Amino acid sequence: MHVLLDGEAISVSQPTIAAALVAAKREAERRKRVVIEASMDGSPLADAWLEHPPTDARPGAEVRFVSADPMSLVRVTYLELGEELAAAARDQSAAAAAVQQGKLEEAMPRVSAALSVWQHVREGVVNGATLLGMDPASLRVRAAQDEPEKSVMEHIDGLARALTELKRAIGASDWPGVADALEYDLKDQADRWRAVMNALADEIGRRAAAGA
């Protein structure tokens, strides 16, 4: 098996995907980087293989890994999540208008799309902080200039309350409540979280510049 990390050959203990993945992660960690892509013979490795790597021998395979600087990776991810929130805000606004007009079949797919973005945001924030060894409970950022800083976990809690209210209104068929949650509460959350994501990206940039 021929195993490469960022184009450089690395040795493996056995000619298996499992051994190759262990070796690549270990070497990336030594370089203070993280593995972000994996392929075998030119095709991306399936997610299932990354979660449960095969242990059967593949002596003739070529396995390539790509790594990235974790701070740069998380910073870019946070900026991209901020852009996703702009799309979520548009979906929320369109869904609120559709609900107010009684067009539920038009509204609900947009609600689902927005909820998917919010889940992605929450997971991305927590996973990114974990990767960099930052505690969401102590990492503080400002969502608005006229407000005090809050911990990332406090911002997450505020989002959770807004989403819980939306889900309650949907479950109770409280359509005026659904429209209000989308048009006001979650619009405010989208604005806040775009600011939070930018603030987090700036904080990571500062830490990277300082060599943290």
State the DSSP code for 60. T
65 neighbors 35 (Cβ within 8 angstroms): yes
63 residue type, one letter:
V
146 — pLDDT class (breaks 50, 70, 90): confident
Q: What sign has the CA pseudo-torsion 159, 156, 69, 51?
A: negative
Model confidence at 144, in pLDDT bands (50, 70, 90)? confident
Q: Can you tell me the mean pLDDT for 176-180?
A: 96
212 confidence band (pLDDT: 50, 70, 90): low
Q: What's the average model confidence in pLDDT over 117-136?
A: 93
Q: Which residue has the tokens 């067009």?
A: 103
Tell me: the pLDDT tens digits for 69-126?
999 999 999 999 999 999 999 999 999 999 999 999 999 999 999 999 999 999 999 9
Mean pLDDT of 62-69: 96
The pLDDT value recorded for residue 64 is 97
pLDDT at 12: 94
Percent over 70 (pLDDT), the chain: 100
The H or E element spanning position 44 is strand 43-44
Q: Is the pLDDT of residue 172 over 70?
A: yes
Q: Report the candidate in 26, 192, 187, 7 with the shortest Cα–Cα distance to residue 96.
A: 187
Note the pTM of the prediction, 2 decimals. Answer: 0.82
- Distance set, CA 25 to CA 2, 77, 209 (Å): 16, 20, 25
Taking every pair of Cα atoms in the chain, the longest distance, rounded to a whole number of angstroms, is: 64
12's CB contacts (< 8 A; 6+ apart) are 1, 3, 19, 20, 22, 23
pLDDT of residue 36: 93
d(CA 210, CA 15): 40
pLDDT value, residue 145:
82
How far is residue 78's CA from residue 86's CA, in Å, rounded to a whole number?
13
User: What pLDDT digit, counting tens, does each position of 1-37 carry?
Assistant: 999 999 999 999 999 999 999 999 999 999 999 999 9
State the chain's mean pLDDT as an integer: 93
User: Distance (Å, rounded) from C-alpha 58 to C-alpha 187?
Assistant: 51
Segment 149-154 mean pLDDT: 94
